[in-house]
Amino acid sequence: MAPQQKGKQGTKGAKQIVEENKTTLAFYRNMSIGCAVPAILLNFLVFEFTKLTVFMLIISMLILGAAYQFMVFMSRAKYTESGALQDSGNDLNMEGGIAENVKDLIILTSGTLLLALISNYFWLVLLLAPVRALWMLWGSVIQPWLAQRNANEQEPEVDEKKQKKMERKMRRMR
């Protein structure tokens, strides 16, 4: 582990972002394939072949494929005609970015594929993804909107009180 520096975090260069994005994409591609292939093979060769299993495997493959393609789309670098780097794309390793949530979705789906080999009840773990999405929607959109609306309703009272107080102070100064 690299020693932590105090103070401001250094910025990354465009070429460094492109290289880190390539390694990140390779890691999550390998994770997806490394969990999906054994899960499919074991489910079809060793375990019982049910409609639920087929349906959930298809859903999982769609989630993994869509999440990976979204990360590829986000990190696509743009080059000029001469081959110089024009835009490095989004940094997939940035903390707090949307890519972090997409990576979490890939990890959750990959883990669910492997856990579902133990029991079909582990398919319910995939329900954590929409629960997390609703929680994030609540925290970043709905709750601040409600708080802002309530604050706007209460402000006129506070303004009236402050105005009366200022009027009293002005009377005393005369």
Domain boundaries, the chain: 14-173
Supply the pLDDT for residue 3.
Answer: 47
Characterize 29-67 residue by residue with b for buried, 16 or more Cβ atoms within 10 angstroms of its Cβ, and e for exposed: eebbeebbeebbeebeeeeeeeeebeebbeebbebbeeb
Contact 106, 68 (CB under 8 A): yes
Position 12, amino acid: K
Q: Look at residues 115, 119, 121 and name the one whose alpha carbon lies nearest to residue 35.
A: 115
Tokens 């590829």 -> residue: 72
Query: Tens of pLDDT along 72-122?
Result: 999 888 888 888 887 778 888 888 888 899 999 999 999 999 999 999 999
Query: Tens of pLDDT along 120-168?
Result: 999 999 999 999 988 988 888 888 888 887 766 665 555 777 788 888 8
- CA distances from residue 69 to 45, 75, 91, 94, 134 in whole angstroms, order as listed: 29, 10, 15, 18, 23
Supply the pLDDT for residue 66.
Answer: 96
Q: Is the pLDDT of residue 8 over 60?
A: no
Query: Tens of pLDDT along 24-64?
Result: 999 999 999 999 999 999 988 988 878 999 999 999 999 99
The pTM for the full model equals 0.75
Q: Which two tokens stand for residue 155?
A: 């402000």
| Sign of the dihedral through C-alpha 16, 17, 22, 23 | positive
Q: Which two tokens stand for residue 30?
A: 């390998």
